[in-house]
Amino acid sequence: MAAVEFTRWYLAGYFFAVAIFYSARVLGEKARIGRSPVFSGTIGTAHFAHHLAFRVFRAAILVACCIRLVWPAFDAYLVPIGVLWHPAVILTGDTLMLASVSAALYVHFYLGREWRSGTRLDDEPRLITSGPFARSRNPMMIFVMMGQVGLFLALPTVFTLVCLVVGVWAVTAQVKVEEQMLATRHGAAYEGYASQTPRWLMK
Protein backbone atom coordinates (compact mmCIF):
# COMPACT_ATOMS: atom_id res chain seq x y z
CA MET A 1 0.00 0.00 0.00
CA ALA A 2 1.63 3.23 -1.19
CA ALA A 3 0.09 5.31 1.61
CA VAL A 4 1.60 3.05 4.25
CA GLU A 5 5.05 3.14 2.68
CA PHE A 6 4.95 6.92 2.25
CA THR A 7 3.81 7.37 5.83
CA ARG A 8 6.56 5.08 7.09
CA TRP A 9 9.10 7.65 5.89
CA TYR A 10 6.90 10.62 6.68
CA LEU A 11 6.48 9.74 10.36
CA ALA A 12 10.16 9.01 10.94
CA GLY A 13 11.13 12.30 9.32
CA TYR A 14 8.38 14.20 11.10
CA PHE A 15 9.31 13.13 14.61
CA PHE A 16 13.03 13.43 13.95
CA ALA A 17 12.53 17.01 12.71
CA VAL A 18 10.35 17.86 15.71
CA ALA A 19 13.00 16.49 18.08
CA ILE A 20 15.72 18.56 16.36
CA PHE A 21 13.63 21.73 16.43
CA TYR A 22 12.62 21.32 20.06
CA SER A 23 16.20 20.59 21.16
CA ALA A 24 17.52 23.63 19.28
CA ARG A 25 14.77 25.81 20.74
CA VAL A 26 15.55 24.69 24.29
CA LEU A 27 19.30 25.15 23.88
CA GLY A 28 18.83 28.57 22.30
CA GLU A 29 16.56 29.80 25.09
CA LYS A 30 18.84 28.32 27.74
CA ALA A 31 21.78 30.28 26.32
CA ARG A 32 19.70 33.45 26.25
CA ILE A 33 18.09 33.37 29.71
CA GLY A 34 20.74 31.38 31.56
CA ARG A 35 18.59 28.36 32.41
CA SER A 36 16.41 25.84 30.64
CA PRO A 37 12.96 27.06 29.56
CA VAL A 38 11.73 23.54 30.30
CA PHE A 39 10.55 22.84 33.82
CA SER A 40 9.22 19.35 34.47
CA GLY A 41 8.10 19.92 38.04
CA THR A 42 9.36 18.46 41.28
CA ILE A 43 9.59 14.68 41.56
CA GLY A 44 6.42 13.30 43.10
CA THR A 45 4.17 16.12 41.90
CA ALA A 46 1.41 15.95 39.28
CA HIS A 47 3.42 18.41 37.19
CA PHE A 48 6.34 15.96 37.10
CA ALA A 49 4.07 12.98 36.30
CA HIS A 50 2.49 14.72 33.32
CA HIS A 51 5.83 15.76 31.83
CA LEU A 52 7.38 12.34 32.43
CA ALA A 53 4.49 10.51 30.75
CA PHE A 54 4.59 12.84 27.76
CA ARG A 55 8.38 12.52 27.38
CA VAL A 56 8.38 8.73 27.68
CA PHE A 57 5.68 8.31 25.06
CA ARG A 58 7.21 10.92 22.76
CA ALA A 59 10.50 9.00 22.87
CA ALA A 60 8.70 5.68 22.35
CA ILE A 61 6.91 7.07 19.29
CA LEU A 62 10.17 8.32 17.75
CA VAL A 63 11.88 4.97 18.36
CA ALA A 64 8.91 3.01 16.98
CA CYS A 65 8.76 5.17 13.84
CA CYS A 66 12.48 4.71 13.21
CA ILE A 67 12.32 0.95 13.77
CA ARG A 68 9.39 0.46 11.39
CA LEU A 69 11.30 2.45 8.76
CA VAL A 70 14.03 -0.20 8.55
CA TRP A 71 11.95 -3.18 9.70
CA PRO A 72 8.43 -3.02 8.20
CA ALA A 73 7.40 -6.25 9.94
CA PHE A 74 7.62 -4.33 13.22
CA ASP A 75 4.15 -2.98 12.43
CA ALA A 76 2.67 -6.26 13.67
CA TYR A 77 4.06 -5.62 17.16
CA LEU A 78 2.22 -2.29 17.27
CA VAL A 79 -1.05 -4.23 16.74
CA PRO A 80 -2.68 -2.61 13.68
CA ILE A 81 -6.39 -1.75 13.84
CA GLY A 82 -7.43 -3.31 10.54
CA VAL A 83 -10.66 -1.40 9.96
CA LEU A 84 -8.71 1.91 9.95
CA TRP A 85 -5.76 0.62 7.91
CA HIS A 86 -6.96 2.40 4.78
CA PRO A 87 -5.15 4.94 2.53
CA ALA A 88 -7.78 7.66 3.07
CA VAL A 89 -7.53 7.36 6.85
CA ILE A 90 -3.74 7.21 6.86
CA LEU A 91 -3.32 10.22 4.55
CA THR A 92 -5.89 12.16 6.58
CA GLY A 93 -3.68 11.53 9.60
CA ASP A 94 -0.61 12.74 7.71
CA THR A 95 -2.42 15.93 6.73
CA LEU A 96 -3.70 16.55 10.25
CA MET A 97 -0.18 16.15 11.64
CA LEU A 98 1.24 18.62 9.12
CA ALA A 99 -1.50 21.13 9.96
CA SER A 100 -0.96 20.72 13.69
CA VAL A 101 2.82 21.15 13.60
CA SER A 102 2.48 24.19 11.32
CA ALA A 103 0.02 25.79 13.74
CA ALA A 104 2.17 24.87 16.75
CA LEU A 105 5.21 26.48 15.13
CA TYR A 106 3.18 29.64 14.58
CA VAL A 107 2.32 29.73 18.30
CA HIS A 108 5.96 29.03 19.22
CA PHE A 109 7.18 32.00 17.23
CA TYR A 110 4.29 34.18 18.34
CA LEU A 111 5.32 33.60 21.95
CA GLY A 112 8.90 34.47 21.11
CA ARG A 113 10.94 34.97 24.26
CA GLU A 114 7.95 34.16 26.49
CA TRP A 115 7.87 30.51 25.41
CA ARG A 116 8.20 27.97 28.24
CA SER A 117 7.49 24.27 28.66
CA GLY A 118 6.02 23.84 32.11
CA THR A 119 6.06 26.74 34.53
CA ARG A 120 7.82 27.81 37.72
CA LEU A 121 6.55 30.35 40.20
CA ASP A 122 9.94 32.08 40.25
CA ASP A 123 9.81 32.66 36.49
CA GLU A 124 8.24 35.85 35.18
CA PRO A 125 7.18 35.65 31.53
CA ARG A 126 4.58 38.16 30.40
CA LEU A 127 0.95 37.09 30.24
CA ILE A 128 0.15 36.77 26.52
CA THR A 129 -3.52 37.38 25.71
CA SER A 130 -3.41 38.46 22.05
CA GLY A 131 -3.21 36.61 18.74
CA PRO A 132 -4.04 32.91 19.10
CA PHE A 133 -4.31 33.40 22.87
CA ALA A 134 -7.28 35.72 22.34
CA ARG A 135 -9.28 32.74 21.07
CA SER A 136 -8.05 30.08 23.47
CA ARG A 137 -5.98 30.09 26.65
CA ASN A 138 -4.15 26.99 25.43
CA PRO A 139 -3.74 27.06 21.64
CA MET A 140 -0.45 25.16 21.77
CA MET A 141 -2.04 22.32 23.70
CA ILE A 142 -4.90 22.16 21.20
CA PHE A 143 -2.45 21.71 18.35
CA VAL A 144 -0.46 19.11 20.29
CA MET A 145 -3.63 17.05 20.78
CA MET A 146 -4.54 17.56 17.13
CA GLY A 147 -1.18 16.07 16.22
CA GLN A 148 -1.80 13.13 18.54
CA VAL A 149 -5.09 12.40 16.79
CA GLY A 150 -3.29 12.72 13.46
CA LEU A 151 -0.66 10.19 14.54
CA PHE A 152 -3.33 7.68 15.49
CA LEU A 153 -4.96 8.02 12.07
CA ALA A 154 -1.62 7.94 10.22
CA LEU A 155 -0.59 4.80 12.11
CA PRO A 156 -3.82 3.22 13.39
CA THR A 157 -2.57 0.74 15.96
CA VAL A 158 -3.21 -0.16 19.57
CA PHE A 159 0.17 1.42 20.37
CA THR A 160 -0.78 4.83 18.96
CA LEU A 161 -4.23 4.59 20.55
CA VAL A 162 -2.57 4.17 23.96
CA CYS A 163 -0.26 7.09 23.12
CA LEU A 164 -3.31 9.20 22.22
CA VAL A 165 -5.13 8.41 25.47
CA VAL A 166 -2.04 9.04 27.62
CA GLY A 167 -1.14 12.16 25.65
CA VAL A 168 -4.58 13.73 26.00
CA TRP A 169 -4.59 12.92 29.72
CA ALA A 170 -1.13 14.45 30.21
CA VAL A 171 -1.96 17.60 28.24
CA THR A 172 -5.34 18.28 29.84
CA ALA A 173 -4.07 17.55 33.33
CA GLN A 174 -0.99 19.74 32.82
CA VAL A 175 -3.15 22.63 31.62
CA LYS A 176 -4.93 22.67 34.97
CA VAL A 177 -1.61 22.75 36.85
CA GLU A 178 -0.23 25.56 34.70
CA GLU A 179 -3.41 27.62 34.89
CA GLN A 180 -3.30 27.47 38.69
CA MET A 181 0.28 28.75 38.60
CA LEU A 182 -0.61 31.50 36.14
CA ALA A 183 -3.47 32.60 38.41
CA THR A 184 -1.04 32.74 41.35
CA ARG A 185 1.59 34.65 39.37
CA HIS A 186 -0.64 37.14 37.54
CA GLY A 187 -3.58 37.37 39.93
CA ALA A 188 -6.49 39.52 38.77
CA ALA A 189 -5.01 39.99 35.29
CA TYR A 190 -5.15 36.26 34.65
CA GLU A 191 -8.56 35.84 36.25
CA GLY A 192 -9.95 38.56 33.99
CA TYR A 193 -8.37 36.95 30.95
CA ALA A 194 -9.70 33.49 31.93
CA SER A 195 -13.21 34.86 32.42
CA GLN A 196 -13.27 36.16 28.83
CA THR A 197 -11.28 33.49 26.98
CA PRO A 198 -12.16 29.77 26.81
CA ARG A 199 -9.68 27.18 28.04
CA TRP A 200 -10.00 25.39 24.69
CA LEU A 201 -12.24 26.83 21.98
CA MET A 202 -15.64 27.18 23.61
CA LYS A 203 -16.82 28.12 27.08
pLDDT band at 150 (very low <50, low <70, confident <90, very high): very high
Mean predicted lDDT score pLDDT of the chain: 91
pLDDT band at 47 (very low <50, low <70, confident <90, very high): confident
Q: Measured between alpha carbons, how far is 101 from 16 in angstroms, rounded to an integer?
A: 13
Percentage of residues of the chain with pLDDT beyond 70: 99
Whether 147 contacts 14, CB under 8 Å: no
Give tens-digit pLDDT for 87-111. Answer: 999 999 999 999 999 999 999 999 9
Residues 6 or more apart from 135 whose CB is under 8 A from it? Answer: 197, 198, 201
Residue ranges per structural domain of the chain: 2-196
With vertex at residue 161, the alpha carbon angle to CA 160 and CA 167, rounded to the nearest 5 degrees, is: 85
Stated pTM of the model: 0.92
pLDDT band at 203 (very low <50, low <70, confident <90, very high): low
Residues 6 or more apart from 37 whose CB is under 8 A from it? Answer: 25, 26, 29, 30, 115, 116, 117
Q: Measured between alpha carbons, how far is 68 from 8 in angstroms, rounded to an integer?
A: 7
pLDDT band at 123 (very low <50, low <70, confident <90, very high): confident
Whether 140 contacts 178, CB under 8 Å: no
